[in-house]
Chains A and B, each alone.
Chain A
Amino acid sequence: MGGKTFKEWQYFKLSITSFDEDIDNVHVIDQMTWRQWLNNALKRSYGIFGEGVEYSFLHVEDKLAYIRVNHADKDTFSSSISTYISTDELVGSPLTVTILQECSSLNLLDITDHDRIWLKRAVSEEEEEYCKCT
Protein backbone atom coordinates (compact mmCIF):
# COMPACT_ATOMS: atom_id res chain seq x y z
CA MET A 1 0.00 0.00 0.00
CA GLY A 2 2.82 2.47 0.84
CA GLY A 3 3.71 4.43 -2.28
CA LYS A 4 7.47 4.23 -2.23
CA THR A 5 8.48 0.90 -0.89
CA PHE A 6 9.52 1.56 2.67
CA LYS A 7 13.17 0.59 2.72
CA GLU A 8 13.97 -0.60 6.14
CA TRP A 9 17.53 -1.78 6.13
CA GLN A 10 20.75 -1.07 4.32
CA TYR A 11 23.21 -3.94 3.82
CA PHE A 12 27.00 -3.52 3.91
CA LYS A 13 29.70 -5.97 2.94
CA LEU A 14 32.86 -4.95 4.81
CA SER A 15 36.40 -6.29 4.81
CA ILE A 16 38.99 -5.47 7.46
CA THR A 17 42.74 -5.44 6.77
CA SER A 18 45.84 -4.10 8.41
CA PHE A 19 47.78 -3.82 5.11
CA ASP A 20 50.33 -6.17 6.53
CA GLU A 21 50.10 -9.76 5.26
CA ASP A 22 51.58 -11.72 8.16
CA ILE A 23 49.55 -9.92 10.85
CA ASP A 24 46.43 -10.51 8.80
CA ASN A 25 46.68 -14.25 8.54
CA VAL A 26 47.91 -14.63 12.10
CA HIS A 27 44.87 -13.01 13.70
CA VAL A 28 41.31 -14.20 13.29
CA ILE A 29 38.86 -11.31 13.65
CA ASP A 30 35.81 -12.56 15.53
CA GLN A 31 32.49 -10.82 15.89
CA MET A 32 33.42 -9.25 19.22
CA THR A 33 36.41 -7.45 17.68
CA TRP A 34 34.29 -6.31 14.75
CA ARG A 35 31.71 -4.90 17.11
CA GLN A 36 34.41 -3.19 19.18
CA TRP A 37 35.97 -1.68 16.04
CA LEU A 38 32.67 -0.39 14.68
CA ASN A 39 31.71 1.05 18.06
CA ASN A 40 34.97 2.98 18.30
CA ALA A 41 34.55 4.29 14.77
CA LEU A 42 31.03 5.56 15.43
CA LYS A 43 32.03 7.00 18.80
CA ARG A 44 34.96 8.91 17.37
CA SER A 45 33.13 10.72 14.62
CA TYR A 46 29.54 10.94 15.93
CA GLY A 47 29.88 10.70 19.71
CA ILE A 48 27.16 9.18 21.89
CA PHE A 49 24.50 9.74 19.28
CA GLY A 50 26.67 7.91 16.80
CA GLU A 51 27.05 4.91 19.01
CA GLY A 52 23.29 4.69 19.18
CA VAL A 53 23.11 3.71 15.51
CA GLU A 54 21.38 0.34 15.35
CA TYR A 55 23.27 -2.27 13.40
CA SER A 56 23.34 -6.05 13.51
CA PHE A 57 25.63 -8.67 12.05
CA LEU A 58 24.15 -10.91 9.35
CA HIS A 59 27.30 -13.01 9.08
CA VAL A 60 30.93 -12.71 10.16
CA GLU A 61 33.77 -14.64 8.56
CA ASP A 62 37.29 -13.80 9.64
CA LYS A 63 38.08 -10.77 7.48
CA LEU A 64 34.64 -10.37 5.88
CA ALA A 65 31.43 -9.17 7.55
CA TYR A 66 27.88 -8.59 6.33
CA ILE A 67 26.12 -5.93 8.35
CA ARG A 68 22.57 -4.63 8.37
CA VAL A 69 22.06 -0.96 9.33
CA ASN A 70 18.92 1.08 9.79
CA HIS A 71 18.19 2.83 6.51
CA ALA A 72 17.94 6.28 8.09
CA ASP A 73 21.46 6.12 9.53
CA LYS A 74 23.25 4.60 6.53
CA ASP A 75 25.12 7.84 5.74
CA THR A 76 26.45 8.36 9.24
CA PHE A 77 27.46 4.69 9.35
CA SER A 78 29.34 4.68 6.07
CA SER A 79 31.02 8.05 6.66
CA SER A 80 32.19 7.07 10.13
CA ILE A 81 33.72 3.68 9.22
CA SER A 82 35.45 4.99 6.11
CA THR A 83 37.26 7.73 8.04
CA TYR A 84 38.46 5.70 11.02
CA ILE A 85 41.79 3.94 11.59
CA SER A 86 41.84 2.05 14.84
CA THR A 87 44.80 2.28 17.16
CA ASP A 88 46.80 -0.88 17.65
CA GLU A 89 45.38 -1.87 21.02
CA LEU A 90 42.85 -4.23 19.39
CA VAL A 91 45.08 -6.48 17.38
CA GLY A 92 48.49 -5.01 17.82
CA SER A 93 48.39 -3.01 14.60
CA PRO A 94 46.10 -0.35 13.17
CA LEU A 95 43.12 -1.74 11.23
CA THR A 96 41.09 -0.16 8.53
CA VAL A 97 37.78 -1.26 7.01
CA THR A 98 36.84 -0.92 3.38
CA ILE A 99 33.23 -1.05 2.21
CA LEU A 100 33.11 -3.70 -0.55
CA GLN A 101 29.45 -3.33 -1.29
CA GLU A 102 26.49 -1.30 -0.05
CA CYS A 103 22.93 -2.11 -1.16
CA SER A 104 19.42 -1.76 0.09
CA SER A 105 18.01 -5.20 -0.70
CA LEU A 106 19.27 -8.57 0.40
CA ASN A 107 19.30 -10.41 -2.88
CA LEU A 108 21.71 -7.92 -4.49
CA LEU A 109 24.46 -9.00 -2.09
CA ASP A 110 27.15 -10.92 -4.02
CA ILE A 111 28.01 -13.82 -1.82
CA THR A 112 29.95 -16.99 -2.31
CA ASP A 113 27.86 -20.12 -2.66
CA HIS A 114 28.47 -21.50 0.81
CA ASP A 115 26.85 -18.39 2.29
CA ARG A 116 23.49 -19.50 0.90
CA ILE A 117 22.19 -20.83 4.22
CA TRP A 118 22.41 -17.71 6.37
CA LEU A 119 21.24 -15.55 3.47
CA LYS A 120 18.11 -17.64 2.96
CA ARG A 121 17.39 -17.42 6.70
CA ALA A 122 17.87 -13.64 6.66
CA VAL A 123 15.61 -13.26 3.61
CA SER A 124 12.83 -15.37 5.11
CA GLU A 125 13.04 -13.49 8.39
CA GLU A 126 12.88 -10.25 6.48
CA GLU A 127 9.81 -11.31 4.48
CA GLU A 128 7.88 -12.46 7.53
CA GLU A 129 8.68 -9.27 9.37
CA TYR A 130 7.93 -6.91 6.52
CA CYS A 131 4.77 -8.28 4.97
CA LYS A 132 2.33 -7.58 7.71
CA CYS A 133 1.64 -3.98 8.50
CA THR A 134 2.81 -1.27 6.15
Chain B
Amino acid sequence: MVRLKSRYILFEILFPPTNSNVEETMSKVDLLLSHHRASPADVSIKSIVQEIRRSLSLNLGDYGSAKCSSLLQVKYFSNRTSTGIIRCHREDCDLVIMTLMLMSKIGDVGELIVNPVKVSGTIKKIEQFAMRRNSKILNLIKSGQSSRFGDNDFAVNDLRNIDNTNENEIENEND
Protein backbone atom coordinates (compact mmCIF):
# COMPACT_ATOMS: atom_id res chain seq x y z
CA MET B 1 0.00 0.00 0.00
CA VAL B 2 1.56 3.30 -0.98
CA ARG B 3 2.20 5.26 2.20
CA LEU B 4 1.29 8.89 2.63
CA LYS B 5 3.72 10.97 0.61
CA SER B 6 4.57 14.26 2.22
CA ARG B 7 7.04 17.08 1.81
CA TYR B 8 8.91 19.03 4.44
CA ILE B 9 9.70 22.71 3.79
CA LEU B 10 12.50 24.40 5.72
CA PHE B 11 11.72 28.09 5.93
CA GLU B 12 13.40 31.03 7.60
CA ILE B 13 12.14 34.42 8.67
CA LEU B 14 14.31 37.37 7.71
CA PHE B 15 13.96 40.82 9.22
CA PRO B 16 15.44 43.27 6.70
CA PRO B 17 16.60 46.48 8.41
CA THR B 18 14.05 48.87 6.94
CA ASN B 19 14.29 51.58 9.56
CA SER B 20 17.99 51.60 10.55
CA ASN B 21 20.04 52.92 7.65
CA VAL B 22 22.67 50.70 6.05
CA GLU B 23 25.90 52.47 5.25
CA GLU B 24 27.72 51.05 2.33
CA THR B 25 30.83 50.23 4.19
CA MET B 26 29.20 47.48 6.24
CA SER B 27 31.07 44.30 5.58
CA LYS B 28 29.34 41.19 4.38
CA VAL B 29 29.09 39.74 7.84
CA ASP B 30 27.28 42.72 9.32
CA LEU B 31 24.84 42.54 6.43
CA LEU B 32 24.21 38.88 7.20
CA LEU B 33 23.74 39.60 10.90
CA SER B 34 21.47 42.55 10.22
CA HIS B 35 19.05 40.28 8.40
CA HIS B 36 18.99 37.27 10.67
CA ARG B 37 17.50 38.20 14.01
CA ALA B 38 15.66 36.30 16.68
CA SER B 39 11.97 36.64 15.98
CA PRO B 40 9.84 38.39 18.60
CA ALA B 41 7.86 36.34 21.10
CA ASP B 42 4.43 36.50 19.53
CA VAL B 43 5.67 34.82 16.35
CA SER B 44 4.92 31.24 17.38
CA ILE B 45 3.82 27.99 15.78
CA LYS B 46 0.18 28.85 16.38
CA SER B 47 0.37 32.28 14.84
CA ILE B 48 2.30 30.97 11.85
CA VAL B 49 -0.23 28.23 11.11
CA GLN B 50 -3.07 30.68 11.51
CA GLU B 51 -1.41 33.14 9.16
CA ILE B 52 -0.72 30.45 6.56
CA ARG B 53 -4.35 29.34 6.67
CA ARG B 54 -5.58 32.90 6.32
CA SER B 55 -3.27 33.57 3.39
CA LEU B 56 -4.24 30.24 1.78
CA SER B 57 -7.94 31.01 1.87
CA LEU B 58 -7.34 34.57 0.62
CA ASN B 59 -5.17 33.52 -2.32
CA LEU B 60 -6.43 30.09 -3.20
CA GLY B 61 -10.03 30.21 -2.05
CA ASP B 62 -12.03 27.32 -0.57
CA TYR B 63 -10.77 24.60 -2.86
CA GLY B 64 -7.08 25.48 -2.52
CA SER B 65 -7.05 26.04 1.22
CA ALA B 66 -9.06 22.90 1.91
CA LYS B 67 -6.74 20.81 -0.25
CA CYS B 68 -3.59 22.14 1.42
CA SER B 69 -4.66 22.33 5.00
CA SER B 70 -5.71 18.70 5.11
CA LEU B 71 -2.07 17.93 5.99
CA LEU B 72 -0.46 21.22 6.97
CA GLN B 73 1.51 21.30 10.21
CA VAL B 74 4.35 23.45 11.38
CA LYS B 75 6.45 20.66 12.84
CA TYR B 76 9.15 22.84 14.35
CA PHE B 77 9.76 26.52 14.83
CA SER B 78 12.44 28.11 17.06
CA ASN B 79 12.25 31.78 17.84
CA ARG B 80 15.94 32.14 18.45
CA THR B 81 17.10 31.05 15.02
CA SER B 82 13.71 31.97 13.47
CA THR B 83 13.77 28.90 11.24
CA GLY B 84 10.94 26.37 10.98
CA ILE B 85 9.79 23.22 9.21
CA ILE B 86 6.38 22.76 7.59
CA ARG B 87 4.91 19.46 6.56
CA CYS B 88 2.52 19.30 3.58
CA HIS B 89 1.26 17.00 0.85
CA ARG B 90 3.58 16.24 -2.01
CA GLU B 91 1.14 17.61 -4.65
CA ASP B 92 0.52 20.98 -3.09
CA CYS B 93 3.95 21.82 -1.66
CA ASP B 94 4.16 24.40 -4.47
CA LEU B 95 0.95 26.03 -3.27
CA VAL B 96 2.27 26.20 0.29
CA ILE B 97 5.58 27.73 -0.81
CA MET B 98 3.68 30.28 -2.84
CA THR B 99 1.54 31.30 0.13
CA LEU B 100 4.66 31.51 2.29
CA MET B 101 6.06 33.90 -0.24
CA LEU B 102 2.90 35.99 -0.50
CA MET B 103 2.74 36.47 3.26
CA SER B 104 4.01 39.85 4.37
CA LYS B 105 3.21 39.77 8.07
CA ILE B 106 2.59 37.21 10.79
CA GLY B 107 0.03 38.25 13.33
CA ASP B 108 0.90 41.91 13.78
CA VAL B 109 4.65 41.61 13.27
CA GLY B 110 5.03 43.54 10.03
CA GLU B 111 8.59 43.86 8.83
CA LEU B 112 9.52 40.35 7.72
CA ILE B 113 10.15 38.06 4.76
CA VAL B 114 9.25 34.39 5.03
CA ASN B 115 11.99 32.73 3.05
CA PRO B 116 11.53 29.06 1.98
CA VAL B 117 14.99 27.53 1.79
CA LYS B 118 14.75 23.82 1.13
CA VAL B 119 12.15 21.18 0.27
CA SER B 120 12.82 17.52 0.95
CA GLY B 121 11.04 14.24 1.39
CA THR B 122 12.08 13.32 4.92
CA ILE B 123 12.38 15.36 8.06
CA LYS B 124 15.79 13.84 8.84
CA LYS B 125 17.32 15.26 5.66
CA ILE B 126 15.83 18.67 6.41
CA GLU B 127 17.31 18.69 9.88
CA GLN B 128 20.71 17.69 8.59
CA PHE B 129 20.55 20.41 5.95
CA ALA B 130 19.48 22.99 8.53
CA MET B 131 22.34 22.02 10.83
CA ARG B 132 24.87 22.14 8.00
CA ARG B 133 23.58 25.50 6.85
CA ASN B 134 23.72 27.03 10.32
CA SER B 135 27.25 25.74 10.87
CA LYS B 136 28.22 27.18 7.50
CA ILE B 137 26.82 30.57 8.50
CA LEU B 138 28.69 30.38 11.80
CA ASN B 139 32.05 29.66 10.13
CA LEU B 140 31.43 32.47 7.69
CA ILE B 141 30.73 34.86 10.53
CA LYS B 142 33.81 33.72 12.42
CA SER B 143 36.09 33.79 9.39
CA GLY B 144 34.25 36.75 7.92
CA GLN B 145 35.32 39.04 10.71
CA SER B 146 38.83 39.17 9.37
CA SER B 147 39.13 38.41 5.68
CA ARG B 148 36.98 39.26 2.70
CA PHE B 149 36.14 36.12 0.84
CA GLY B 150 34.58 34.98 -2.43
CA ASP B 151 31.45 36.90 -3.33
CA ASN B 152 28.66 34.38 -3.47
CA ASP B 153 29.99 31.40 -1.61
CA PHE B 154 28.35 32.65 1.57
CA ALA B 155 24.99 33.59 0.12
CA VAL B 156 23.31 30.65 1.74
CA ASN B 157 20.18 30.66 -0.35
CA ASP B 158 21.75 31.06 -3.74
CA LEU B 159 20.80 28.78 -6.58
CA ARG B 160 23.79 26.48 -6.26
CA ASN B 161 23.06 25.82 -2.68
CA ILE B 162 19.56 24.60 -3.40
CA ASP B 163 20.39 21.74 -5.71
CA ASN B 164 21.87 18.84 -3.82
CA THR B 165 25.14 18.72 -5.73
CA ASN B 166 26.14 21.36 -3.26
CA GLU B 167 25.31 19.17 -0.29
CA ASN B 168 28.40 17.04 -0.47
CA GLU B 169 30.45 20.17 -0.99
CA ILE B 170 29.22 21.41 2.38
CA GLU B 171 29.61 17.94 3.83
CA ASN B 172 33.26 17.50 3.06
CA GLU B 173 33.77 21.07 4.15
CA ASN B 174 32.57 20.19 7.64
CA ASP B 175 33.94 16.68 8.25
Contacts and interface: CB of A to CB of B under 8 A. Distances in A.
Interface string B62-78: 11110000000000000
Contacts of B64: 46-47, 49
Nearest to B98: A49
A80 B64 CA distance: 12
Listed from nearest, the 7 A-B pairs whose CB atoms lie closest are: A47-B61, A46-B61, A45-B63, A47-B60, A47-B59, A45-B62, A45-B61
Contacts of B60: 46-47, 49-50
Contacts of A49: 59-61, 64
Contacts of A44: 61-62
A79 interface: yes
B159 to A, nearest CB: 26
A47 B63 CA distance: 9
Interface in A6-59: 42-50
15 contacts: A44-B61, A44-B62, A45-B63, A46-B60, A46-B64, A47-B58, A47-B59, A47-B61, A47-B64, A48-B59, A49-B59, A49-B64, A50-B60, A79-B63, A80-B63
Given A46-B61, A50-B60, 8 more contacts: A43-B61, A45-B63, A47-B60, A47-B62, A48-B58, A49-B60, A50-B61, A79-B63
Is the interface on chain B under 10, 10 to 19, 20 to 34, or 35 or more residues? under 10
Interface in B38-75: 57-65
User: Per DSSP, are chain A's interface residues mostly helix, strand or loop, or mixed?
Assistant: helix
Contacts of A48: 58-59, 61
Nearest to B62: A45
A46 B65 CA distance: 9
Contacts of B62: 44-45, 47
Contacts of B65: 47
A48 B57 CA distance: 9
Interface in A48-98: 48-50, 79-80
Contacts of A50: 60-61
Contacts of B58: 47-48
A94 to B, nearest CB: 18
A46 B58 CA distance: 9
A46 B64 CA distance: 6
Nearest to B56: A47
A45 B65 CA distance: 9
B99 to A, nearest CB: 10
Nearest to A47: B61
A43 to B, nearest CB: 7
A112 B60 CA distance: 38
A50 B62 CA distance: 10
Contacts of B63: 45-46, 79-80
